[in-house]
Amino acid sequence: MKYFFFILFAFFIASRALAVEPSEILGNPQLEDRARKLSSNIRCLVCQNENIDSSDSEFAKDIRLFIRDQLIEGRSDREIENFLVSKYGTYILFKPKFAGYNIFLYLFGPFIFILGISTIFFLFLKSKRGS
Amino acid sequence: MVSEFGHFLLISAFCLNLGLIANYLTRKPVFWGLVVLFNRLESLLLTLLAISFLFLIISFITSDFSVKLVANNSHSLKPILYKVAGAWGNHEGSMLLWVLILSLYLFLFQLSSNNYPKELVRNILLVQLSIIALFLFYLLFLSNPFERLNFPPLNGQDLNPILQDVLLVAHPPILYLGYLGLSIPFSIAIGLLLTNDNTTNIVKLIRFWALVPFVFLTLGILLGSIWAYYELGWGGWWFWDPVENVSLLPWLLNLALIHSILILERRSSLLNWTILLCIMGFSFSMIGTFIVRSGLITSVHAFANDPSRGLFILLIIFVAITTSLSIYIFKRPNTVSVMKLNFASRELWILVQNLTLLVITVIVFLGTIWPFIIEVLLNEQVSVGEPFYEISLLPFAVIFAFMLPIASKVAWKGKNFVDIKKLLSSILICSGVSASGFLIGTLSPLTFIGFFLASWVCLSSILELIPLFQFYFPVSTITKRSLLVNFRLIGRTCSHFGFGLLIFGVTAVSSWEKEDIRNIEVGESFYITSYEIIFKNIDYSVEKNFKKVSGSFEVMHNKKLVGTLYPEKRLYPSRNEVTTEASIKPTLLNDFYIVLGNKLDGNAWVVRTYIKPFISFIWFGVTLIALGGFVTLLSFASYRNRFTV
């Protein structure tokens, strides 16, 4: 009975996929590298907040395989990303595209920095003039 | 009975809290009889909450499943350690801990505030008591931890297996000591504004109470990061997940506060900005904690959220923050003192440092709430994750690290810049040191910049210790004064050096990490660089509340055993969940990290192996940052004795 339990248990564990699996890895290390870079920017849509590279879900696995197929067919990184966005929406990218309203997201920080530096420079000039 | 009594104590604490507020507002003791019994009523508040919390823990230890919280988060077979820690591994329990720590800080602050004007202390305590009242109200009426079930289940639903870890005991309380420690600078700032007191020097007070949470917050974040490193199973140590981001926000603002207060101390300038930082620090620790709990933003750490109550708590926080900001806007001291700035003066560089920290905070905050903003305004969905933060924070992190040695080298009110020759030669030395990194691994431009900054920060902070020895050699001149300066100097060096090590660790791990994923049978072995990894055997066993399968792997280097690793997979039957327990063998230079994956046909398994170079430098560096804060706190002990010796 105990042995049966173990087999059941082993089966249960085996039924869960793990993040990137050996069978998925491409023979060509350069392509695999590109696949990894791409994957780190692709969100697993059925998970909480994980990229497809580290997710255990079927969805993530499908997208990982899809990316690798496309890479073998010679598509560029941008083409693959654009295709995924057209299919699943911008939600799938962890790094929002530098376009539209996202420009605000990218530039707000630097804007505050420039504003602050100018203020400090202004204070600097003012104190110079004062002395 | 235990749980009813706990509930009763909570209600009494709430009444006492309101009584104390009334007491301070009317300036007349409302509970005169009690004043005779207890010298300090704040200590009674603390006692009531502490006992109440104890009762909650007792309910968990005795597995009283008629209490809803216990039934939902515990299991009779769970090890005793996790039964205890389970008391704060959920929303209601952690809220009780939250209120308990708030009142602990109230009590400690009152103890230490004897030397300050009565009126000021009264206002500060009033603010702190109001914060406690808000959260106690929320606890009692919307997340009562002592709620009973009409039909208690036979056994509990168990705690989320990911949370069943030794660090559950330490991580949340330490992190809360950090988050809530920030409430004291907040109360001091608001209390000061309400008092209209321009004469009292509050620098020491704010410095002390800003450093205490700094130490705890740093340690709390560190523990969380270590936990994620070994628990989440792919060996990352920072994921830019909303929960992590929001813990970083108050830390960054607190760091800015610790430095801006120095300008206030030396140049009596920047009072407004310092007060604003105090207010923002605690505001962000509230926003951060609850924005995630409210379920507005999805996170991989979503184990203590509850959207139904979330909006209410956001409302409370919104009211608290707008009130405090309005007080700031209307009552801030309008002293316009133009401080003299010079390129060679430290105040200028600390200003730039504060600005950089603020910008980093803004970017992290905006990135965290951006998906929410876009969804509300445009009804579209976007994600903001790791790649975004890496690219947008990198320039500011580089600026920050490069400035650090300069800011800490130049003098207050300095007029002459550091010798340019010296500066250039030290830059040259550091570049040389970092270029030698290619001996260990490949050296990309980013890796080089990282190593340069690491050596630049480390080297300069060590050089700063030189004046310390000059203090010590003429023994007769050792006075309390020099000791005081020395504690601060040692603390500063320690933290800055730790920051340098952190940069080094981060750069090394992200550049030189080795990964290997393969199918392997028991008895086989493989090589990663010069390390041989042998899959010895696989073993099934049953533990008290889970079943596990564990592999054993030997790591060999030059035919010598480096260590044996036992990665596991566990099945928790109570929740029918499988967790992956990575096994890690830390050595001084490398961490070996093995994760056991699927079983394939025959005796083969999927195995993921990582070699993470210098990751221990990250933990060690951050520990030094916290230690530096602690050493600086020691200088306050000598402050107190200074006039008596």
In a mutagenesis test of the A interface, which of B359, B362, B391, B593 is the best target, namely the one with the most A β-carbons within 10 Å?
A: B359
For residue B276, pLDDT beyond 80: yes
- Asked whether the predicted pLDDT for residue B392 surpasses 60, the reply is yes
What is d(CA B338, CA B302) in angstroms, rounded to the nearest whole number?
48
- Residue B577, judged by CB atoms within 10 A of its CB (0-12, 13-18, 19+), counts as middle
In a mutagenesis test of the B interface, which of A11, A13, A24, A93 is the best target, namely the one with the most B β-carbons within 10 Å? A13
Query: Quick one: pLDDT at residue B40?
Result: 66
In the predicted model, what is the mean pLDDT of residues B372-396? Answer: 92
Q: Which of B355, B381, B396 sits opposite A89 (nearest CB)?
A: B381
Please tell me the predicted confidence (pLDDT) of residue B567. Answer: 93
Q: Identify the burial level of B27 via C-beta atoms within 10 angstroms of its C-beta, where 0-12 means exposed, 13-18 middle and 19 or more buried.
A: exposed
Q: Is B463 part of any domain?
A: no
- Rounded to whole angstroms, how far apart are CA atoms B620 and B509? 14
Contact between chains at B366 and A109 (C-beta distance less than 8 A): yes
Cα of B38 to nearest chain A Cα, Å: 50
Q: Does the beta-carbon distance from A25 to B517 stay under 8 Å?
A: yes
Domain at A2-95: CATH code: 1.10.8.640
- The per-residue DSSP string of B29-61 comes to -S-HHHHHH-S-HHHHHHHHHHHHHHHHHHHHH
- From A129, which residue of chain B is nearest by alpha-carbon distance? B340
CA B546 to chain centre: 31
- By Cβ distance, the residue of A13, A17, A21 closest to B599 is A13
Cβ <8 Å between B352 and A117: yes
Chain A CB contacts of B374 below 8 Å: 101
Chain-chain contact of A123 with B517 (C-beta, under 8 angstroms): no
Query: What pLDDT, on a 0 to 100 scale, did the predictor assign at position B106?
Result: 95
The sign of the torsion formed by the CA atoms of B309, B310, B313, B314 equals negative
CA distance B239 to chain A (A): 9
Residue of A nearest to B337 (CA): A127
**Per-position b or e across B416-437, b if 16+ CB within 10 A of its CB:** eeeeeeeeeebeeebeebbeeb
Nearest residue to B583 (alpha-carbon basis) of B597, B572, B571: B597
pLDDT at B204 over 80: yes
B467: pLDDT strictly greater than 80: no
CA distance B280 to B250: 8
Q: Which of A94, A106, A122, A131 to mutate against chain B (most B CBs within 10 Å)?
A: A94
Nearest to A20 among B299, B367, B517 (CB): B517
The answer on B302 and B277 residing in a single domain is: yes
Q: How far is A67 from A64, CA to CA, in rounded Å? A: 5
pLDDT digits (tens, 9 = 90+) for B499-535: 999 999 999 999 998 888 889 999 999 999 889 999 9
Which residues from chain B sit within 8 angstroms of residue A108, using beta carbons? 362-363, 366
Asked if residue B93 and residue B20 are part of one domain, the reply reads yes
Vertex B252 angle, CA A126 and B226, to 5°: 155
Q: Tell me the average pLDDT of chain B.
A: 86
Q: With a cut of 80, say whether residue B415 has pLDDT above it.
A: no
What was the pLDDT predicted at B233?
A: 65
pLDDT score, position B179: 95
Lowest-confidence region among B67-76, B391-400, B404-413, B578-587: B404-413
Judge: A131–B597 Cβ closer than 8 Å, yes or no.
no
Contact B575, B546 (CB under 8 A): no
B540 and A10: CB-CB below 8 Å? Answer: yes
Give start and end residues of each alpha helix (H) in B62-117: 68-73, 80-86, 91-112
- What confidence tier does B344 reach under pLDDT thresholds 50, 70, 90? confident
Residues B427-445, mean pLDDT to the nearest whole number: 79
Percent pLDDT > 90 in chain B is: 48
* pLDDT-wise least confident of B330-344, B550-564, B586-600: B330-344
What span, in angstroms and rounded, lies between the C-alpha atoms of B85 and B87? 5
Q: What percent of chain A has pLDDT over 70?
A: 85
Structurally, chain B folds into a number of domains equal to 3
Which residues of A are less than 8 Å from B302 in CB distance?
48
**What span, in angstroms and rounded, lies between the C-alpha atoms of A55 and A46?**
9
Whether B270 and B260 have beta carbons less than 8 Å apart is answered as yes
pLDDT tens sequence across A9-40: 444 444 444 577 787 888 888 899 899 999 98
B358:A54 CB<8 A: no
**pLDDT tens for each residue of B224-247:** 999 989 887 667 889 898 888 999
Last residue of a domain, one of B164, B189, B222: B164
Residues from chain B contacting residue A109 (CB–CB below 8 Å)? 359-360, 362-363, 366, 392, 396
Residue B485 maps to a domain: no
* Rounded percentage of chain B residues whose pLDDT exceeds 70: 89
Q: How confident is the model at residue B419 (pLDDT cuts 50, 70, 90)?
A: low
Instruction: Give me the phi and psi of B556, to 5 degrees please.
Output: -115, 145
Per-residue pLDDT at B540 exceeds 50: yes
State the smallest CA–CA distance between residue B389 and chain A in angstroms: 8
Pairwise CA distance, residues B198 & B328, whole Å: 15
Confidence of residue B628 (pLDDT cuts 50, 70, 90): very high
- Tell me how many degrees the CA angle B213-B216-B218 measures, rounded to the nearest 5: 105
pLDDT (tens digit per residue) in B104-151: 999 999 888 888 898 899 899 999 999 999 999 989 988 899 988 888
My answer on whether B410 and B286 are in the same domain is: yes
Task: Please report which confidence band the pLDDT of residue B194 belongs to, taking 50, 70 and 90 as the band edges.
Answer: very high
pLDDT (0 to 100) of residue B25: 84
Residue of A nearest to B336 (CA): A123
- Residues B63 and B157 sit within 8 Å (Cβ to Cβ): no
Choose the final residue of a domain: B357, B387, B418: B418
Say if the Cβ atoms of A108 and B518 lie within 8 Å.
no
Q: Is the pLDDT of residue A76 over 90?
A: yes
At A15 the pLDDT is 42
Query: Hey, what are B59's tokens?
Result: 């309910």
B contacts of A96 (beta carbons < 8 Å) = 370, 382-384, 388
Looking at beta carbons, which pairs linking B14-23 to residues 24 or more positions away fall under 8 Å?
A: B14/B133, B14/B136, B14/B137, B14/B140, B16/B41, B16/B44, B16/B45, B16/B48, B17/B45, B17/B129, B17/B132, B17/B133, B17/B136, B18/B133, B20/B45, B20/B129, B21/B126, B21/B129, B21/B130, B21/B133
From A40, A90, A120, residue closest to B387, measured CB to CB: A40
Mean pLDDT for the stretch of residues B580-598: 89
- The predicted structure's pLDDT at residue A14: 43
Do B597 and A18 make contact, defined as CB atoms within 8 angstroms?
A: yes
| φ, ψ dihedrals at B216, nearest 5° | -70, -40
CA-nearest residue of chain A to B538?
A: A10
State the count of interchain CB pairs (< 8 A) between A and B: 151
On whether both B200 and B155 belong to a single domain, the answer is: no
pLDDT level of residue A128 (50, 70, 90 thresholds): confident
Domain residue ranges in chain A: 2-95, 101-131
Average pLDDT value over all residues in chain A:
83
Place B460 in a pLDDT band, splitting at 50, 70 and 90.
confident
Q: How many Å apart are CA B116 and CA B107, to the nearest integer?
A: 15
Rounded to a whole number, what is the distance in Å from the CA of B234 to chain A's nearest CA?
Answer: 7
For residue B385, give the nearest of A6, A51, A126 by CB distance.
A51
Choose, out of B277, B303, B382, B580, the residue to mutate when testing the contact with A (most A CBs < 10 Å): B382
**Are B362 and A112 inside 8 Å of each other by CB?**
yes
Claim to verify: residue B105 and residue B149 sit in the same structural domain: yes
Lowest mean pLDDT among B304-313, B350-359, B541-550, B556-565: B304-313
Residue A112, class by beta-carbon neighbours within 10 Å (0-12 exposed, 13-18 middle, 19+ buried)?
Answer: middle
Instruction: Quote the pLDDT of residue A12.
Output: 44
Domain membership of residue B464 (yes or no) is no
**Can you tell me whether residue B492 is helix, strand or coil?**
helix
Compute the nearest-CA separation of B19 from chain A (Å): 44
* Choice between B337 and B67, residue whose per-residue pLDDT is larger: B67
- Burial class of residue B230 (count of CB atoms within 10 Å of its CB; 0-12, 13-18, 19+): middle
Residues B291, B369 contacting (CB under 8 angstroms):
yes
Both tokens assigned to A32: 């695999």
The yes-or-no verdict on residue A106 having pLDDT over 90 is yes
Which residue range(s) make up the domain with B19?
Answer: 1-164
Residue carrying structure tokens 């988060």: B73
Give pLDDT, residue B131.
94
pLDDT reading at A100 higher than 80: yes
- The CA distance from B251 to B364, in Å, is 12
Q: Has residue B302 got a pLDDT over 90? A: no
Task: Tell me, yes or no, whether B185 and B83 share the same domain.
Answer: no
Among candidates A16, A23, A49 on the partner chain, residue whose Cβ is nearest the Cβ of B298: A49
pLDDT tens digits for B58-104? Answer: 999 999 899 988 998 888 888 899 999 989 888 889 899 999 999 99
Residues B328, B37: Cα–Cα separation, whole Å: 38
Distance in Å, alpha carbon of B628 to nearest chain A alpha carbon: 28
Nearest chain A Cα distance for residue B404, angstroms: 17
Q: In angstroms, what separates the C-alpha of A73 from chain B's closest C-alpha?
A: 24
pLDDT bracket for residue B418 (50, 70, 90):
low
Of B239, B339, B382, the CB nearest to A96: B382
3 state SS for B402-431: HHHHHHHHCCCCCCCCCCHHHHHHHHHHHH
Confidence tier at B643 by pLDDT (50, 70, 90): very low
pLDDT bucket at B155, cuts 50 / 70 / 90: confident
Supply the pLDDT for residue B526.
93
In tens, the pLDDT along B601-611 reads: 778 898 999 99
Nearest to A111 by CA among A101, A103, A121: A103
Per CB-CB distance under 8 Å, the chain B contacts of A128 are 341
